[in-house]
Structure 1
Amino acid sequence: MRAGDRVCAQPEAGGGSLSLLEVKNLHVTYGSGARAVPAVRGVDLSLEAGRKLGLAGESGCGKSTIALALLRLLPASARMTGEILLGGEDVLTMKWGRLRAVRWAGASIVFQGAMHSLNAVHRIGDQIAEPILLHQKATSAAAKQRVAELLHQVGLPAARADAYPHELSGGQRQRVMIAMSLACDPQLIVADEPTTALDVMIQAQILRLIEQLVAEQDISLLMISHDLAVLADTCDRLAVMYAGRIVEEGPARTVYGAAEHPYGQALSAAFPRIGDAASRRAPRGLPGDPPDPSALPGGCAFHPRCPVALDACAEVDQVLATAGVGHRAACVRVSAAAGAEQRL
């Protein structure tokens, strides 16, 4: 994908919403010199206030790297170029004092695996209160009251504020993480695989909770997952990522149900659909693994695994081309169809 291929969670016609988050030509490389590993390669994203954008792909495609890059949480070995505009300010050029404030009040992250994110030796109430005390300069009494309100919002009794993380179930710990992300009233929540470690019933509850909270509080949501079905059910638009690039984007239901890129089609087909006996009995997988970022194949990075690859796919990388209304895909067949339509 090239700079300018913007992935947008677009407002409804006539809505006139402004972009809260704009990622422009983002490159993230780990290491340097001969050992440099490109994890993100020229990604553009745009998310309007109050909208929900899903980012899908297999492990190793760069999704979590983008999540961490949004608030400069990557290790020192990572080099970032491009722009990450949050409310018009470039996160990559912010001074540390400003960045520290933005990390809670501007945007917050819900990580996967709450037990690894919570401090095992501190009560959860103290952990939720910490950003409130630091960033909102609240009194201890006000912070305690706010903690009780947040726990109520995520469906936990205020008395659980005295519990330690190990005293809570996996679903309850994930609710605590959501409460923490809401502590300073952020404009954007980045949810990185927030339900991966949970069973199906608790997963559904957490997804409904996130969806309800972002709607009630008019928060923008960037949700990251390998599960297209979850993203299609939760988000307005969906972007599919492979080998550090966006290969398809469009309305979430369209990308999930009628993907144009072979990779998007494979991800969608990998999950059985309720009511579809054929998909339940024989879900289709995708052989192989995403390529090693340090040894990417030439041309389209997906072509070694693509069941319909052409000779040209090994020679020329593809850019996003129109595949329908508000729908684009980086595939040679889509590009050819779009070119033919333009010539008519």
Structure 2
Amino acid sequence: MDHLLELRGLTVAYRTEEGRLPAVRGVDLCVDAGEVVGIAGESGCGKSTLASTVLRLQPKDALVAGEVLVSGRDVLTMGWGDLRALRWAEAAIVFQGALHSLNPVRRVETQIAEPIRLHEPDLPVADVGARVGELLEQVGLPAARSRVYPHQLSGGQRQRVMIAMALACRPQLIIADEPTTALDVMVQAQILDLISGLVRDLGVGLMIISHDLSVLADVCDRVAVMYAGRVVECGSADQVFSSPAHPYAQALSRAFPRVGDAAARYAPAGLAGDPPDPHDLPPGCSFAPRCARMIDACTEAEPPLLQVGGRQAACIRVGEA
């Protein structure tokens, strides 16, 4: 049986004045129906590039290799007509920053209805309007709010509209790129509850991207941690957050405060140094210059993802005590 989404050896690089800039390096990942897979990592690790490449939204200067299979079909090789039919109807994306993604001079109903009209041109106008109302109610907004403009909605309401748009053509796969970044904690919790409920009730597959581990801990079944364009750890959410194996995943976990845990509150948080320059990646393991457990062998070759304790981790010392 095909996965809803399967990435095989995905590599993405950009042409720049300084030369080829690698953004995603050999990522293998899958998402199944009814599953939430999270992508975690610092800014610049390749998370958003990964998300945009799933629907072939990368800029023209991008150099892409590997396979991106949506329901068994490779997005990277399909013709424009097939790609246009796949977007919205089979896979949709929720971008971060709803205020920048929504058209400020068009009513909400018009923007939600647009993909429906494109993919179901024979659907009567009344039925399109009814679908828009149903979608808004599905994400917790009154159908009457369809007549307003984006600036007349709060940040959380605009994000709900973006989710309604993503669901407009009943896709089986949804990509959510930082869907709660601009929201306060209370509204963020509401949106996460909404996303979890939709995955459970509709049986869709969801890939959610965030640098906020608390967001991923709340909703994900599995989590992949990225560093310098590679997945360095992948496993169940419980494994990655409670007992991370890769030194970078451990540093991310320590940087996340735990309410009521005095040791976590007083322990040093964060990670010294900065991610490597993609134009000048260090030899061997790209995390080695920031790793307290580095040994000489770490600089000899980039470690592959190894199976350990029911998850994968790209570290030659991961099996040590």
If the TM-score is normalised by the length of the shorter chain, which range does it land in?
A: over 0.9
**1:253 Cα deviation (Å)?**
0.8
**1:278 Cα deviation (Å)?**
2.4
Stretches of structure 1 lacking an aligned partner (at least 5 in a row) = 1-16, 338-344
Q: Which amino acid aligns with 1:61?
A: C
Contact 1:322 1:335 in 2 (8 A): no
Could you say what secondary structure the match of 1:80 adopts? strand
- Paired position in structure 2 for 1:334: 318
- Paired position in structure 2 for 1:97: 81
Indicate how the Cα distance of structure 1 residues 143 and 238 shifts in structure 2: closer, same or farther if over 3 A, else same: same
Q: Distance in 2 between matches of 1:159 and 1:40?
A: 43
Contact 2:37 2:208 in 1 (8 A): yes
Please state if 1:300 is matched with 2:285.
yes
Q: Which amino acid aligns with 2:131?
A: R
**1:283 Cα deviation (Å)?**
5.4
Cα RMSD between the aligned structures? 1.4
TM-score, scaled to structure 1: 0.90
Contact 1:322 1:334 in 2 (8 A): no
Please state if 1:129 is matched with 2:113.
yes
Please state if 1:178 is matched with 2:178.
no
Stretches of structure 2 lacking an aligned partner (at least 5 in a row) = none
Please state if 1:63 is matched with 2:77.
no
Indicate how the Cα distance of structure 1 residues 280 and 139 shifts in structure 2: closer, same or farther if over 3 A, else same: farther
**1:280 Cα deviation (Å)?**
2.8
Residue of 231, 234, 237 corresponding to 2:222 = 237
- Number of residue pairs aligned between Structure 1 and Structure 2: 320
**1:282 Cα deviation (Å)?**
4.2
Q: Bigger shift: 208-217 or 34-43?
A: 34-43
- Paired position in structure 2 for 1:147: 132
Matched ranges for 1:193-232 at <5 A: 193-232=178-217
Contact 2:112 2:168 in 1 (8 A): yes
**1:232 Cα deviation (Å)?**
2.2
Contact 2:88 2:169 in 1 (8 A): yes
Could you say what secondary structure the match of 1:92 adopts? coil
1:287-336 per-position Cα deviation (integer Å, ceiling 9, x unaligned): 222111111111100011112111111222111112202x1111111267
Q: Which amino acid aligns with 1:323?
A: V
- Paired position in structure 1 for 2:9: 25
Contact 1:129 1:143 in 2 (8 A): yes
- How many percent identity over aligned positions? 62
Runs of 4+ in structure 1 deviating by more than 6 angstroms, as ranges, are: none
- Paired position in structure 1 for 2:35: 51
Could you say what secondary structure the match of 2:290 adopts? coil
**1:228 Cα deviation (Å)?**
2.2
Q: Distance in 2 between matches of 1:320 and 1:181?
A: 33
